[in-house]
Structure 1
Amino acid sequence: MENVSTISEKPFWEHKNYSYADEWFLVGSNSQFFLILSAYLVFVLKVGPSLMKDRAPFKLTNILLAYNIVQVAVSAYIFKLAFGIIYNTITEEKCIYESDKLQYKYFYALHVYTLAKLSELLDTIFFVLRKKDRQVSFLHVYHHSAVFFYSWALMSYNRQAFLSVTVVGFLNSFVHLVMYSYYALSVFPSLEKFLWWKKYITKMQMIQFAMIIVYVIYENTMTPCKLPSTLFIHMLANVSLVFILFADFYRKTYKTSPNAKKK
């Protein structure tokens, strides 16, 4: 076990302990990850729109319903895992990387979270097949790609566990639980009049990012469980960027356009 005081002084890619995760799917495999991400980007940005150009949009009703129900269940499971880690960290009064047991729980939860982010790439593919071109925005594609990348990179190259990352998964899984519940219900046109709360999901996402920023700064300045400086900067920069993009999306969608407000 590395001395806690040296953790934050090393670049996050230098932590290579806890090799039990090396055989897990995607972990440490650059070729698998970049092949999947490249195929995703090529399809949603080029191949998919080209294939659908002269075709009628697919409805995918049953597929979407099943997919969203599965995502609700997965989000609930990740929320449970993250809550357990946070609770154990508080009650044991130690950093996650000071306990082998907590580290294993962390890496297991992070692997489940990474696989969830992989499955969520289907969101964009379904948008393309349904010809919902407006939904395939820079914000949507960047957010899905970045979250998948960071979770994979943390799983593969940062073999130290941090509460900040767990808090991100905890908050994100709760928001996604609500979001995919909305998507599951929206499959049924008869329920549309009851789904007035869509814009509040975007508000929840912005609150989530603000809470993450505040917590990461707090943990890295007020507690001994500090993030490596490189990871700290990356996390703050990415979450801040996504917060700005979501705020801009909210302003354009719900504040600027009268038609959007009515919708």
Structure 2
Amino acid sequence: MLREAVSNILKLQTFLESRIDVRVRDYPLMDGPVKMTTILIAYVIFSKYIGPHLMANRKPFRLNSAMIVYNLSMVLLNAFVVYEFLMAGWGTTYTWRCDLCELGTSPQTLRMVRVSWLFYISKFVELLDTVFFVLRKKQSQITFLHVFHHSFMPFTWWWGVTLTPAGGMGTLHAMVNAAVHVIMYFYYLLSAAGPRFQKYLWWKKYMTAIQLIQFVMVSVHISQYYFMETCDYQIPMWIHLIWMYGVFFFLLFSNFWIQAYIKGKRLPVVEDKPKQNGSTGEAVSVVANGKHLENGNAHHHTNGKIFLGKVKEI
């Protein structure tokens, strides 16, 4: 039985390796699903078990400088990804309608291949969000939704980059997501920079609006496929998955917006407890796509916390 299972796994591995697009076969973490899957499994185990156990009897680390460097790096990385997506097609030759997966090796097509892979790699870099939570003993913020989002995105994008590295209309959501992350990590950067920058964080409320705009753009764009007379997109499954992702998170964010900013339903603020090293804890929130709205040191703002679709104010 075990021998047969191992044999089937090896056959699957061989089959998947044969389907990897030759244009990305030599890129890091693209030679097969084993390395990628191993990293993500290790991430889940560390986030939920090993990390909390190691930190159980230790003081939380103060990582302000590290987070400033990290957040600034993520702003620059995502800005570069947006620029490359624009130059590789979305700002030059793409029609924003039925843009098919590109199969050639022209310089512009290879540029789209590279930026698609870079977006995929950026999802692994974002795993450090959770590492910061663990080291700062913010385990309550490492929800199922947070871990699922951070592990699910790179896992699914491996398949996308493997089969369609120049994915045409299936890559718009990546460019939009990277653009939103430029804004989000800039917010995190200001938050991590200390109290003197808190006066510049008045626009926190509009982070939700920006997320809503993101999901509307992605959903409307991809919905065109269902109304076109002809669009021979090579892998329609990508279209369906992107549409479901956009609509699902739009509903979650809309619910938060209504509850928090229209109905004004605010639960009592949870008082921060002093840390062992004498520093005060700061409120950190998790939004519907698993991202946190505070990975810095801001602690006087109330934040919406969404866990499995339920809104809670902290």
- TM-score normalised to structure 2 length: 0.70
Change (3 A) 1:96 1:189: same
The structural deviation recorded for 1:200 is 1.7
Give ranges in structure 2 of 5+ residues lacking alignment: 1-15, 270-299, 303-314
8 Å CA contact retained: 1:86, 1:166: no
Aligned equivalent of 1:195: 201
8 Å CA contact retained: 2:212, 2:250: yes
Aligned equivalent of 1:238: 245
Counterpart residue identity of residue 32, structure 1: K
The structural deviation recorded for 1:148 is 1.2
The structural deviation recorded for 1:189 is 2.2
Change (3 A) 1:262 1:179: closer
Alignment length (residue pairs):
250
Percent pairwise identity: 31
1:149 maps onto 2:155 in alignment: yes
The structural deviation recorded for 1:99 is 4.8
- TM-score normalised to structure 1 length: 0.83
Give ranges in structure 1 of 5+ residues lacking alignment: 1-12
Distance in 1 of aligned mates of 2:75 and 2:118: 14
Change (3 A) 1:246 1:218: same
Which of the residues 34, 37, 46 maps onto 2:49? 46
- Root-mean-square deviation over aligned CA pairs: 2.9
- The correspondence of residues 212-227 of structure 1 with structure 2, limited to 5 A, is 212-222=218-228, 224=231, 226=233
Aligned equivalent of 1:87: 91
Change (3 A) 1:249 1:147: farther
Aligned equivalent of 1:75: 78
Distance in 2 of aligned mates of 1:249 and 1:227: 36
- The correspondence of residues 201-216 of structure 1 with structure 2, limited to 5 A, is 201-216=207-222
The structural deviation recorded for 1:217 is 1.2
Change (3 A) 1:203 1:52: farther
Which of the residues 174, 183, 203 maps onto 2:188? 183
Aligned equivalent of 1:63: 66
Task: Give the number of the structure whose alpha-carbon radius of gyration is greater.
Answer: 2
Aligned equivalent of 2:306: none
The structural deviation recorded for 1:52 is 1.9
Distance in 2 of aligned mates of 1:159 and 1:15: 14
- The correspondence of residues 20-39 of structure 1 with structure 2, limited to 5 A, is 20-39=23-42
The structural deviation recorded for 1:259 is 4.3
Distance in 1 of aligned mates of 2:39 and 2:17: 25
The structural deviation recorded for 1:17 is 7.1
